[in-house]
Amino acid sequence: MKKTAIFLTVALLTVISFAACGKQGPDDPDIESKEYEPIALTKAEEQIGQASNQFGFDVYQKLYTGDDMLISPLSLSLALSMTANGAKGQTAEEMLTTLGFKGQSIDDMNAYYQKMIKALLEADPTTTFEVANSIWADEKIGIRKSFTEATEKYYSSEVFPADFKSQATISKINGWVSDKTHGKIKSILDGPDQNLVMALINALYFKGKWAFDFKSKTDKEDFTAISGSKSKVDMMKAEEKLAYSEYDGFRMVRLPYGNGAFSMDVVLPGKDEDFGKAVARFNAATLQSLDGSMGYALVNLKLPKFTFSYDTDLVDVLKSLGMKVPFTVDADFSAMAEKSLMISMVRQKTFIDVNEKGTEAAAVTVIGMVATSVGPAPEPKRVEFFADRPFLFVIREKSSGAVIFVGQKVK
């Protein structure tokens, strides 16, 4: 096996705000508010979306540790879907099945993500949602024109020549990543690489403000970590009419951004339940059931301010979910390049900052390859929702339920 390598990189950055070009957003006074309009999906697309969300929760559950963590299912899905455009046979079949497209074609997958990204970009002018894709390739790889045309059509990718043995190329790539993620992801490649021959990068930026106001005063209050220890944290407070639900021991409150198209759902397991066991049974179906039992309540809310970064390798997780052949010499990526390739690395880095104004989150997913031969309740009830102990959170689009981020705050 030659040690030539190919990296496909997807960066997903989230902080709520709208505009594909990034010139408008929640702080722009000229932006006009747009009434929330649900994303119209067919029954088949709804099923794909549910399966795609389940893929994200499967990854989350397998990565679970007793630490703060955050992954971006959408970032990972976009990275793998771009990669799948170069796959054939069993390699493509395993990738499609793992992503939730069992029985669907590559074209079906591309059309779905093209539709979803366009809809997400247009969902809320008071939020920023930016997407950018690029392909950096050494001429020796023999990249297929049909592959670049597909990624350009469905993912609006640009193609740049690259010499990965040159620091200048690495600097250009890292500069592109930093620019497209507004400086939240500073770099994706550590330095020149003798084996690297290709890099595909998708950057997504999402930023916005809460649709309600937290109280101006933030007090220091106790947060009980997963270990049982207590620490003082900045606790944000609000009393608002918010969507709220209870199901199977979970309590969930929806915190909307902008016009309500995007939200953060904060989920508290029962006080007496082991948090790890709660995570193990929290999935797309659970979230759907919580949605189904949702009504409005006057919520006395407490939520800690928090910011953290997370970095994880995803190769073993994807193998355990059935994506095995793409990581072997039997992989068929002949639709991508003239050289025989296999995936060697999948890594994701994320960042999140939650404060009184809104949320900012970022994710970068790197896929490396080596060469081979409901309606409001009439009378809202009053509830207390104190996130002063380990909790889960999900950032997603309202009507489609598309999960952009899922994470946990446990310490």
pLDDT of amino acid 289: 96
3-state SS record for 291-311: HHCCEEEEEEEEEECEEEEEE
Decide if 47 contacts 142 (C-beta within 8 A): no
pLDDT of amino acid 343: 85
- pLDDT 10s digits, 360-384: 988 878 777 778 764 344 567 788 9
- pLDDT 10s digits, 1-31: 333 333 333 333 333 332 333 334 555 544 4
Mean pLDDT score of the chain, rounded to an integer? 85
Taking the C-alpha atoms of residue 7 and residue 202, their distance in angstroms, rounded to an integer, is 12
Please state, for a pLDDT cut of 90, what percent of the chain lies above it: 53
- Does pLDDT of 305 surpass 80? yes
- Does pLDDT of 151 surpass 70? yes
pLDDT of amino acid 87: 95
- pLDDT 10s digits, 226-270: 999 999 999 999 999 999 999 999 999 999 999 999 999 999 999
Q: Which two tokens stand for residue 122?
A: 């247009």
Other C-beta atoms closer than 10 Å to the C-beta of 346 total 27
pLDDT of amino acid 33: 58
pLDDT of amino acid 364: 78
pLDDT of amino acid 378: 52
pTM metric for this prediction: 0.85
Taking the C-alpha atoms of residue 345 and residue 53, their distance in angstroms, rounded to an integer, is 22
**DSSP letter string, 169-223:** HHHHHHHHHHHHTTTSS--S--S--SSEEEEEEEEEEEEEEBSS---S--EEEEE
| Domains of the chain, first to last | 5-209+307-372 (3.30.497.10), 219-305+376-409 (2.30.39.10)
The average pLDDT across 327-354 equals 88
Decide if 369 contacts 118 (C-beta within 8 A): no
**Band of residue 292 on the pLDDT scale cut at 50, 70, 90:** very high
